[in-house]
Amino acid sequence: MESKNHYKVTYFPVIGRGEFLRIALVYAGCDWEERSVGFEEFFQGGFRETTPNGYMPLLEVNGGPAMDGTLECLRYICMKEGMYSKNINDSYACEKASSLIYTALFP
């Protein structure tokens, strides 16, 4: 798979919600960069106030505005990179599996 898009993921330097986006971007073979924001920078350094809704991960595509919402961003990457099934039954199964994993990890 070859993508012409450039992505930026902004997240804490940990495995967490951001990992969903990192894995999708690596799997798709995308050109992407990571902006690592430490806890102090986020909570005390004012970074939180610069985010759309006060949380991360954030996803920027081709220099566009920051988007948030882990599963929404995951779905966005999959659709933009041609990994989202056009078969409604397959996409239902993928949505079900990703929601299940997400809510199990982040209830």
Q: How many CA atoms lie within 13 A of 56 on its CB side?
A: 27
- Cβ-based neighbours of 94, under 8 Å, separated by 6 or more: 78, 84, 85
Nearer to ligand GSH, 27 or 55 (CB): 55
Q: Which of 58, 63, 64 is CA-nearest to residue 21?
A: 58
Strand 58-61, strand 67-68: pairing: antiparallel
The window from 29-37, 65-73, 79-87, 88-96 that contacts ligand GSH (CB under 6 A) reads 65-73
Using the rule CB under 6 A, which residue among 7, 9, 17, 78 binds ligand GSH? Answer: 17
Using the rule CB under 6 A, which residue among 9, 60, 70, 81 binds ligand GSH? Answer: 70
Shortest-Cβ-distance residue relative to ligand GSH:
55
Give contact residues for ligand GSH (rule: CB under 6 A). Answer: 16-17, 48, 54-56, 68-70
